[in-house]
Amino acid sequence: MDQLPSFVIGVLELLSFVFIFAVGIGILWAAVLYVHDKTQTESTLRRNYPVIARFRYLFEHLGEFFRQYFFALDREEMPFNRAERSWVYRAAKNVDSTVAFGSSRDLRPAGTVYFVNCPFPTLDQDATETPAVKVGPYARIPYETDSIFNISGMSYGAISIPAVRALSMGAKKAGIWMNTGEGGLSPYHLEGGADIVFQIGTGKFGVRKPEGGFDPEKLKAVAAHEQVKMFELKLSQGAKPGKGGILPGAKVTEEIATIRGLEVGKDAISPNRHPEVNSVEDLLDMVDFVRETTGKPVGMKFVIGAYGFLENMCVAINKRGIESAPDFITIDSADGGTGAAPMSLIDNMGMPIRESLPLAIDILVAHGLRDRIKVCASGKMINPSEVAWAYCAGADFVNSARGFMFALGCIQALQCNKNTCPTGITTHNPKLQYGLDPKSKSERIASYAKNMKKEVGIIAHSCGVAEPRLLKRFHARVVMANGRSMSMDELYPTPELIKAAE
């Protein structure tokens, strides 16, 4: 030590002091925790095993991440497995999405869907672009679009400013629409120039009077934006049917409160339904009111639950006249996503899209309203196979929220409801938002949408049709409990097929 320079000796002495001080503080802190744990009565484990028992909670939290990266197999994780996420990441980055050796997908479990290839697939030169679909023929300003895969409702508030900006710019580049979610129209939705579907939730944020209910002038102000192409009345959401939207107070900033008409820092809880809608007749009156006030197509989003609802609505529409029908319906799945929902609902309530979408299509066909009412499918469809299935079932459009979240960089950290999202998507913490660059992420949004369209087209061509909307139920088969598969048109025969058989 005598041969070392004096400044080195000084540094070593300082480090020794810091180390001893840190150890002392650690011992003191452990002693405080020991006394606290031994005397508290809330936790049996901490009372019996003070300090040490606290590591259980740490390991329980870290387990979410270790399972994802080290222990879970490619196809077994929930809500989305590694294989599903990886395809989105590759599509968003516009890199090679081919795989080698063989599929890791097990085709044996009941409910598995696969498509039947045609002996004479569609040649590239015979493939066609998806034609434009007209929505709202009875609205003063109908909407036409050729998009097949769009951005589902994600509110500004539930997601961050840079996330909204990236989605808006990416949607414009891809030629698709984005849904505002129930949180109102923000400047960031409009920045990119994308087509907008304005969602009206049960809280009517952005178009409400202070005491509740619609403010017609605010409705007209939203409709005055050329980018706002359609309005969607949200009746229920896949992850929480029967429960209104939930935005924790930690996310209700001054700007969000202004846009929504709320108090800063207070939880934004929407009613579990529109208070003024007590019947199908009331609902159709609301559709008429919004369409007449805005001049633009109006639809509704809901989860299929009670079978009679859609049937009763179709009967009422035919009594009134088809012009009274909603211009589109969005069928959400019971396995849809959200930023915050009671586990009792997210696990148990509503009908999955695999059953509800064919059912809804068949009801519309049976009542002669299939051409009048366009159908959007939503809920856990982030890969080409799910999207192609929806078109086989009869959808006109497919919407996704979590797929585009993955394209933004979401790692399924399951922190959406805590304002601590590590990728900056569902947080208003500027430090966490820093890593999300809207310009670069908008490219990923656009690439994801374009590659989705491309690969759904590949499936369609393999089935022998020129574009995805020409897919039919007989192009897909579903594995049954006995291990054999059944064609979707046998499993879900449309009323037209039933009449033909009779």
- List pLDDT tens digits, range 157-175: 889 999 999 999 999 999 9
What is the per-residue pLDDT across 229-286, written as a single tens digit (0 to 9) for each?
999 999 987 776 767 776 777 777 788 888 887 778 877 777 888 889 999 999 999 9
Angstrom distance (rounded) from CA 268 to CA 245: 8
Sign of the CA dihedral running 20, 21, 26, 29: positive
Q: How many residues does the chain have?
A: 502
The secondary structure element, H or E, covering residue 257 is helix 254-260
Confidence of residue 190 (pLDDT cuts 50, 70, 90): very high
Q: Does residue 27 sit in helix, strand or coil?
A: helix
Determine contact, residues 384/452, Cβ cutoff 8 Å.
yes
Percentage of residues in the chain having pLDDT higher than 70: 89
Considering only residues 321 and 435, tell me which one the structure prediction assigns the higher pLDDT.
321
Taking the C-alpha atoms of residue 57 and residue 43, their distance in angstroms, rounded to an integer, is 12
Average pLDDT of the segment spanning 476-481: 94
More confident: 198 or 26: 198
User: What does the block give as tokens for 494?
Assistant: 């449309």
Is the distance from CB of 160 to CB of 426 less than 8 angstroms?
Answer: yes
With CA atoms as reference, report the closest residue to 201 among 251, 151, 253, 274. Answer: 274
Q: Quick one: DSSP state of residue 158?
A: T
- Distance from C-alpha of 243 to C-alpha of 227, rounded to nearest angstrom: 30
pLDDT at 45: 64
User: Which of 169-178, 396-405, 425-434, 488-497 has the least mean pLDDT?
Assistant: 488-497
Beta-strand pair 228-234/195-200: parallel
**Do 198 and 185 contact (CB within 8 A), yes or no?**
yes
Q: Which residue did the predictor score with more confidence, 139 or 65?
A: 139
Average pLDDT over residues 288-317: 93
Lowest mean pLDDT among 107-111, 138-142, 460-464: 107-111
| Whether pLDDT at 133 is above 80 | yes
Round the average pLDDT of the chain to a whole number and report it: 86
- Per-residue confidence at 358, pLDDT binned at 50, 70, 90? very high
Reported pTM? 0.84
pLDDT for 77 equals 62
Q: What are phi and psi of 413, to 5 degrees?
A: -80, -10
Q: Which residues contact 27 (CB under 8 A, 6 or more apart)?
A: none
Q: Give the model's confidence band at 2: pLDDT under 50 very low, under 70 low, under 90 confident, else very high.
A: low
Q: Is the pLDDT of residue 142 over 70?
A: yes
Tell me whether strands 397-400 and 149-151 are parallel, antiparallel or unpaired: parallel
State the average pLDDT over residues 455-483: 95
- Ranking 245-254, 316-325, 382-391, 471-480 by mean pLDDT, the lowest is 245-254
